[in-house]
Every structure is written in C-alpha cells, then in structure tokens.
C-alpha cells in the first residue's frame, strides 16, 4: 500500500473492503480516494491479499 506523499507500507487488515483498509489505517473515507492499477475504487470494493493500493489524499492543504 502506498499513501501518496506519505510512506509506503504493508498492512494486514481484518476484513475485505477498501473501507476496512481505511478504517484500519485510521483514515476518514471523505479525505482519501483509493486506486488500484490506476482505477478508482469505491469503498465497498473487495481487496485481497497482495493487492497494491494507492491512497490519494483529498486534502491539498493550501
């Protein structure tokens, strides 16, 4: 998993969806868009072992 502008890390998540991943990382879903292979995923999208996700921050902060 890569958080754009932040660190790249591997996470073990209990649960199966994009929303579960965001919750596990303590990231509010309104502040991030998650993509996989350049495609935007909705929060109910299933993720599986080995998926590479990019978490794009919504907040530009200036």
Partner 1 sequence: MAKCSVCGRKAVYVARYEGRAYCEKHFLEWFDKRVRKTIRKFSFFGPKEKIVVAVSGGKDSLSALHYLVNLSKRVPGWEIRALLVDEGIRGYRDVTIRDFKRVAEELGVDYRIVSFKEVIGASLDEIVKIGMERGLPYKPCTYCGVFRRYILNRAAREMGATVLVTAHNLDDVVQTFVMNLLRNDWEKISRLGPISGSGDHPKFVRKVKLFYEIPEKEIVIYALLNGIFPETFVECPYARFGMRWDVRRAINAWEEKYPGTKYALLRSLLEILPLLQKRYTGTPRTCKICGEPSTGDICRACQLRMELGLLDVQV
Binding site for partner 1 (CB under 8 A): 4-5, 28-31, 33, 35, 39-46, 56-62
> Minimal distance in Å, beta carbon 50 to partner 1?
19
> Minimal distance in Å, beta carbon 34 to partner 1?
11
Q: Which residue has tokens 């495609």?
A: 39
Q: What ranges make up the beta strands (E) of the chain?
A: 2-3, 32-36, 39-41, 53-57
Q: Using an 8 Å Cβ cutoff, are 25 and 2 in contact? A: no
> Minimal distance in Å, beta carbon 11 to partner 1?
19
């Amino acid at each position: 998993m890569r958080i754009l502008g932040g660190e790249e890390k591997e996470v073990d998540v209990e649960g199966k969806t994009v929303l579960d991943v965001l919750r596990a990382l303590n990231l509010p879903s309104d502040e991030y868009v998650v993509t996989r292979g350049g495609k935007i995923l909705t929060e109910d999208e299933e993720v599986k072992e080995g998926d590479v996700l990019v978490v794009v921050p919504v907040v530009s902060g200036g």
